[in-house]
Structure 1
Amino acid sequence: MAHALDPTKALHTWSLFRTMGRFVAPGSAPSGALTENASTEGLDLLELPGQLAEHGFASAQLCHFYLPRTDAAYLAELRDAFDAAGVDLEVLLVDDGDVTHPEHGEEQQRWLSGWIGIAEQLGAPRVRVPAGDQPPTEVTIALSARRLRALATEHPGIRVLTENWKSLLVDAATTRRLLEELEGEVGLLIDTGNWTGPDKYEQIAQVAGNAECSQVKARESAPGVLDAEDLTRSLTVLRDVGYAGRISWVYAGTDDDEWGRLEEMHEITRAVTG
């Protein structure tokens, strides 16, 4: 059943990676998937909420690796900055960790638990953690479900989500299988850009109606040119399956003018939502 898309102007802060100086806090990316970079040349995180508000954004999904510190005093200051700017911290995104790792899965679960605690201190109502970075099998799916449910049980005051992402959740069938194992104790964030192939929109449609949050990704059809067709089709799928959460944009192109490209995404979204 089609559902009017939420008009809240929202984004995933990966969209501003260049604006943030490509900052990746030391110790925040143990897998090495992101290169740690303590540069101070970009926008300071404490100034980000105000900049979001100036550009009309009312909601943000915050990447964990932007946090230069995680002590209580800094977290309180960052929480106050979001409150003062009137920007809702929709979800803290923990962008590393593999609870299905055959050797380090338990250690990774503890690491993720620490970040969930940080999300709680920030006052975020939700936190997204990866489901796993191993190929899908009955064993890895069951292990992911068990450890994700354990994280949710350990942190009952915050909604834990996972995402159709990394090596485990490679398609809709696997994602649906994991969601069945989770039995509602952990929710889903749908990213429209994580699956590829000719049936990607059908795959997204099979799970998006169950998602609580989204990341709607815009790549390029040519250097400097947003792939408006893909973005429009992705938004249309979410609308048509009755997705009821916010539309958080992800700019994944090459233009340094990230704010400008986000505004272009806003115009495309308005064309879909009417």
Structure 2
Amino acid sequence: MTNAADRIAVSTWSLHRMMGTTYPHNLDTLEVGPVTEAYGPVNESLLDIPSAIANHGINRLEIVSFHIPTRDKVYLGELKSALAAVDVTLQTLLIDAGDISDPLTSDRDTRWIASWIETANELGAERARVIAGKQKPTRDALDLSVKKLTELADGNAGSAVRLTTENWFDLLAEPGHVNFILDKLDGRVGLNGDFGNWGGPTKYADLRAIFGRAETCHAKASFVDGTLDEADYAACIEAAEAAGYKGPYTLIFDANAPHEWDGIAAEKAFIEARIG
């Protein structure tokens, strides 16, 4: 990616209050769940989002799976057309449930995730991000995750959709376990690095330890009384860039203030000023 504009994306999660509704997952079925008015009235539907972000100067989008109201092929075609109409790239379908590291649910959740990878293919997404697991990082849990991620990669063989996972939940709560999983998978699954999932005194060193392998980034900023925490955000970006990260920064806004578009604009301007 050669310029700052090409390195900016946004997630539907950053607009979840504007979108209003979600479709919560039930992993016992492959059907999309019933609509839930989780965040108030609907101001923008998912089909409106590509045009909305394009109007704000962003041309890369990540969609969270629970924002998709149906996996009917006609609807998926409409969503794909809405993206193409404004030249917005679907960077990642974020498959936001499942625990393949739990032996009690691993087989079920792997099947469920595989069905959503098919949806990513239907939509022409560049990537599908899956959760490596939520269990404590015992060797058994790590090995089970590797086994199931390998199965998912095998099932997606030959596809243009790249599978990635993320430094998220207990299983991948430190760099050593992230690198263990990625090493075992030998390049078959990539990494989405997330600024907001780790904390503590080693946060920035830990991010540097994985961002050399990251292909995408969830660039979540903290806001205090509506004001972006510039020191933390700058340190996160510096850690990623110092590690050699060259991919897109997906703006993640999840604060009570300011307004969602204002928060997204603040993150965008801050990042572009540092990577331009």
Give the TM-score of the pair, scaled to structure 2. 0.91
**How far off is 1:111 after superposition?**
0.3
Unaligned runs of 5+ in 2: none
For residues 109-155 of structure 1, give each alpha carbon's deviation from its aligned partner in whole angstroms, at most 9, with x where no partner exists. Answer: 00000000001000102100000010001111111011001101101
Identical aligned residues as a percent:
34
Larger RCO, structure (CA 8 Å, separation 6 or more): 1
2:168 corresponds, among 165, 168, 186, to 165
The match for 1:75 is 76
The yes-or-no answer on 1:60 pairing with 2:61 is yes
1:38 corresponds, among 36, 39, 42, to 36
Q: Secondary structure at the match of 2:217?
A: strand
Q: Secondary structure at the match of 1:253?
A: coil
Superposition misfits of 4+ residues, deviation over 3 angstroms: 3-7, 26-30
Q: Secondary structure at the match of 1:168?
A: helix
Distance of 2:197 and 2:263 partners within structure 1 = 20
Unaligned runs of 5+ in 1: none
The match for 2:194 is 191
Give the TM-score of the pair, scaled to structure 1. 0.92
**How far off is 1:38 after superposition?**
2.7
Aligned residue-pair number: 266
The match for 2:252 is 250
The match for 2:120 is 119
Maintained 8 Å contact 1:98/1:105: yes
* TM-align CA RMSD: 1.9
Quick one: structure 1 residues 29 and 191, their matched pair in 2 at CA, closer, same or farther if it must change by over 3 Å? farther
Letter in 1 for 2:96: D
**How far off is 1:58 after superposition?**
0.7
Maintained 8 Å contact 2:226/2:258: no
The match for 1:91 is 92
For residues 200-242 of structure 1, give each alpha carbon's deviation from its aligned partner in whole angstroms, at most 9, with x where no partner exists. Answer: 000000010111111111112x221221111111111111111
For residues 156-180 of structure 1, give each alpha carbon's deviation from its aligned partner in whole angstroms, at most 9, with x where no partner exists. Answer: 2021100000121010011111111
Maintained 8 Å contact 2:211/2:245: yes
Maintained 8 Å contact 1:78/1:122: yes
Distance of 1:26 and 1:169 partners within structure 2 = 24
Map 1:89-238 to 2 at 5 A.
Answer: 89-156=90-157, 157=159, 158-220=161-223, 222-238=224-240
Maintained 8 Å contact 1:25/1:65: yes
Distance of 2:74 and 2:185 partners within structure 1 = 35
The match for 1:264 is 266
